[in-house]
Amino acid sequence: MPETLEDLAEREYEHGFVTEIETERIPKGLSEEIVRIISSKKDEPEWLLEWRLKALARFQQMLARGQHPSWAQVSYPEIDFQDMYYYAAPKPKKQLESLDEVDPELLATYDKLGIPLAEQKRLAGVAVDAVFDSVSVATTYKEELAKQGILFGSFSDAVKQHPELVRKYLGSVVPYSDNFFAALNSAVFSDGSFAYIPAGVRCPMELSTYFRINAQETGQFERTLIVAEEGSYVSYLEGCTAPMRDENQLHAAVVELVALDDAEIKYSTVQNWYPGDKNGKGGIYNFVTKRGACRGRRSKISWTQVETGSAITWKYPSCLLQGDESVGEFYSVALTNNMQQADTGTKMIHLGKNTKSTIISKGISAGRGQQSYRGLVRIGPRAEGARNYSQCDSLLLGDRCGAHTFPYLEVKNASSTVEHEATTSKIGEDQLFYCRQRGLSEEDAISMIVNGFCKEVLRELPMEFAVEAQKLLDISLEGSVG
């Protein structure tokens, strides 16, 4: 039994189907012309096109200088940025007046993913923006939310309907020059979600975006922007899946959050992109920049992520704690099985006084999975009384996988408190045997031990998604026992 712990069996990825739908694509490759085409498809204002072109120039400069980030503990062949499509959209049959006019193929796709969009079947208490390849295809509960002044919908619509808000905040947290993949995203982003919560409003339902990559050889570059005005609250969730394909596909998203005085944003991710097969063929390259700015006093941003998919995950949801007494949190479960690689963590940048941050990271490796926690805690010179607590735990299943921890601390204010704890443990044969002696199967025992290990993070997720995440962990571990 013990030596078979790591013997991997075929594992099922249940979202691996392809939707047969007529897709409109622009030519392959990356150039000024491509960026202009994307911008004109979206009927964008001149300022946005200019912003894209500046980003493109910056990206091309970094590419020419060989500034593709190489510091992460992941390995993959060089990406040919000219050999992929930057825009793919299901061909609309006509201008949509309501959800009922959405292509039935698309509705069926989301039904199959467990995200019903049709009026009568909608998820209760969750508003969903469905992004399919490069475009948002539907948003539910839009009108109900609008009654309270909450704006929620596709990024493209926001550019048309609320250009002043988009212009004010776009790139204000993650500038186009921020990093290699953020520059690429800023040049070619096609859609994403936009949410705006007015002052004093507590958003009455979960807002959610469901990202689906469908088209072949196509990258997905979405952009999410959430602004919470003074004293508002919003809980937002994103989910993602993709078909099983033999080639690798690039997903390079940017998420920006802005929380003003006393505002709170809770951002949860359940990431289940196709991870590739057990030999490492195919899968999504997930290079994502997520950052939230706690601009206001006593504002709070909380990131919770459950990362089970992707061939490669490279993401560090971060908080800029600018407002005094603002709070940043990062709760993460990352699971790598088979040949998956993940380099993930967070950055907590303490700028304001008495700012507080908490980092709880749980990494699970099985098969030949490799993963790293990489976290930066920076306490600025003016961050009097700042506090950080970090805890990074790794759990190994079998002995061919690996876990690594790279904590970086920069403390420039002596009145601050920074604590860091890290543990690495193997699922003990003693633990497994104990469970089996009590009548539990080995698979059930592992699932129980892993869920126990992740509990501190899973309980941060909204209820219905915690259940989903737990199931996902079980599925992702399937076959990790011989």
Partner 1 sequence: MLEIKNLHARAGDALILKGIDLSIGAGEVHAIMGPNGSGKSTLAGVLSGRPSFEVTEGSVLYRGEDLLAMEPEDRARAGIFQAFQYPVEIPGVTNNYFLKASLNAIRTARGEDELDAMDFLSVVREKMKIVEMPKDLMGRSINEGFSGGEKKRNEVLQMLLLEPSFMVLDETDSGLDIDALRVVANGVNHLRSPERSMLVITHYQRLLDYIVPDVVHVLSEGRIVRSGGKELALELEEKGYGWIEGAAAP
Query: What is the x/- site pattern for partner 1, positions 7-46, by CB under 8 A?
Result: ----------------------------------------
If binding is defined by CB under 8 A, does position 104 make contact with partner 1?
Answer: no
Residue 161, phi-psi category: left (phi > 0), alpha (psi -120 to 50), beta (remainder): alpha
Tokens 């469901």, located at residue: 210
Least Å distance, CB 21 to partner 1, is: 43
Shortest Å, Cβ 455 to partner 1: 4
Closest approach of Cβ 315 to partner 1, in Å?
Answer: 24
Regarding 167 and contact with partner 1 (CB under 8 A), the answer is no
| Residue closest to 325 by CA, chosen among 267, 257, 259 | 259
Please give the structure tokens belonging to residue 466.
Answer: 């915690």
Which residue among 76, 216, 431, 475 contacts partner 1 (CB under 8 A)? 431
Q: How far is CA 482 from CA 9, 222, 252, 406, 477, in A?
A: 7, 39, 35, 32, 11
Binder to partner 1 among 65, 91, 94, 438 (CB under 8 A)? 438
**433 lies in the site for partner 1, by CB under 8 A:** yes
Q: Taking contact as CB under 8 A, which single stretch among the options 55-63, 264-272, 306-314, 453-461 is the one that binds partner 1? A: 453-461
Binding of partner 1 by 456 (CB under 8 A) = yes
Q: Toward partner 1, which CB reaches closer, 1 or 9?
A: 1
One-letter amino acid of 29: G
Residue range at the interface with partner 1 (CB under 8 A); choices 155-163, 265-273, 352-360, 439-447: 439-447
Nearer residue to partner 1 within complex by CB, 24 or 474: 474
Nearest to partner 1 of 24, 443 (CB atom): 443
Residue 349 or 396 with smaller CB distance to partner 1: 396
- Which position among 455, 464, 478, 482 is part of the footprint of partner 1 (CB under 8 A)? 455
AA identity, residue 316: Y
What x/- string results for residues 369 through 408 when contact with partner 1 is judged by CB under 8 A? ----------------------------------------
Which residue of 449, 472, 473, 481 would you call a contact of partner 1, by CB under 8 A? 449
Q: Which stretch binds partner 1 (CB under 8 A): 61-69, 132-140, 264-272, 445-453?
A: 445-453
Minimum distance from residue 442 beta carbon to partner 1 (Å) = 7
* Rounded Cα gap, residues 143 and 387, in angstroms: 41
Distance CA 350, CA 259 (A): 15
Size of the site for partner 1 (CB under 8 A): 25
The least distance separating partner 1 from the CB of residue 6, rounded to whole angstroms, comes to: 14
Among 111, 217, 442, 474, binds partner 1 (CB under 8 A): 442
Asked if 358 touches partner 1 (CB under 8 A), the answer is no
Q: Does 91 bind partner 1 (CB under 8 A)?
A: no
Q: Is residue 436 a contact point for partner 1 (CB under 8 A)?
A: yes
For 363, half-sphere exposure in the C-beta direction (CA atoms, 13 angstrom radius) is: 31
Half-sphere exposure of 456 (CA within 13 A, CB side): 15
Binding of partner 1 at residue 428 (CB under 8 A)? yes
Distances from the Cα of 54 to the Cαs of 50, 59, 171, 184, 203, in angstroms? 6, 9, 12, 11, 35
Residue 474 makes contact with partner 1 by CB under 8 A:
no
| Interacting residue with partner 1 among 417, 434, 467, 471 (CB under 8 A) | 434
Contacting residues toward partner 1, per CB under 8 A: 1-2, 428-431, 433-442, 444, 448-449, 451-456
